[in-house]
Amino acid sequence: MTTTATGTPGRAGTDPLVRIEGVHKFFGEHHVLRGIDMTVQPGEVSVIIGPSGSGKSTLLRCINLLETISAGRIQVREDLIGYKEVNGRLHDLSTKAIANQRREIGMVFQRFNLFPHKTALANIMEAPTQVKRQSKTAARTAALELLDRVGLAERANHYPSQLSGGQQQRVAIARALAMEPELMLFDEPTSALDPELVGDVLNVMKDLAKSGMTMIVVTHEIGFAREVGDTLTFMDGGVVVETGNPRQIIANPQHARTKEFLSRVL
Partner 1 sequence: MSQTAKRGSFAGPDDGVERINAVPVRHPGRWVGAAIIVLVLAITAQSLITNPRFHWDLVGTYLLDTLVVQGIGWTLILTVSSMVIAIALAIMLAFMRQSENPLFRYVSWVWVWFFRGTPVYTQLVFWGLVATLYPKIIIGVPFGPEWFSMDTQTVVNATVAAILGLGLNESAYLAEIFRAGLKSVDNGQMEAAEALGMRRSKIMWRIILPQAMRVIVPPTGNETIGMLKTTSLVLAVPFTYDLTFVTNTIANRIYQPIPLLIVAAFWYLLVTSVLMVGQFYIERHFGKGVDNLTKAPVKPAAVAAAVAHAHNPAAPADPEPAAPTSEGGTTP
Site residues for partner 1 per CB under 8 A: 64-66, 95-96, 99-100, 102-103, 105-107, 109, 111, 113-119, 121-122, 126-127, 130-131, 137-138, 140-142, 144-146, 148-149, 153-154, 156-162, 172, 175-180, 207-208, 210-213
- Taking the complex as a whole, the smallest distance from the CB of residue 51 to partner 1 amounts, in Å, to 23
- Taking the complex as a whole, the smallest distance from the CB of residue 156 to partner 1 amounts, in Å, to 5
Is 199 in contact with 223 (CB distance < 8 Å)?
A: no
For partner 1, the closer CB: 148 or 194: 148
- Taking the complex as a whole, the smallest distance from the CB of residue 133 to partner 1 amounts, in Å, to 12
For partner 1, the closer CB: 122 or 225: 122
Alpha carbon distance 19, 37 (integer Å):
8
- DSSP at 69: -
- Taking the complex as a whole, the smallest distance from the CB of residue 125 to partner 1 amounts, in Å, to 11
> Which residues lie below 8 Å from residue 88, measured CB to CB, with a gap of 6+?
none
- Taking the complex as a whole, the smallest distance from the CB of residue 64 to partner 1 amounts, in Å, to 6
For 161-183, the DSSP string reads GGS-HHHHHHHHHHHHHTT--SE
The whole-angstrom distance between residue 95's C-alpha and the CA centroid of its chain comes to: 22
- Taking the complex as a whole, the smallest distance from the CB of residue 243 to partner 1 amounts, in Å, to 25
Is 74 in contact with 19 (CB distance < 8 Å)?
A: yes
For partner 1, the closer CB: 59 or 213: 213
> Which residues lie below 8 Å from residue 146, measured CB to CB, with a gap of 6+?
124, 174, 177, 178
Is 40 in contact with 216 (CB distance < 8 Å)?
A: yes
For partner 1, the closer CB: 46 or 214: 214
For partner 1, the closer CB: 3 or 161: 161
Is 246 in contact with 228 (CB distance < 8 Å)?
A: no
For partner 1, the closer CB: 92 or 260: 92
Is 171 in contact with 200 (CB distance < 8 Å)?
A: no
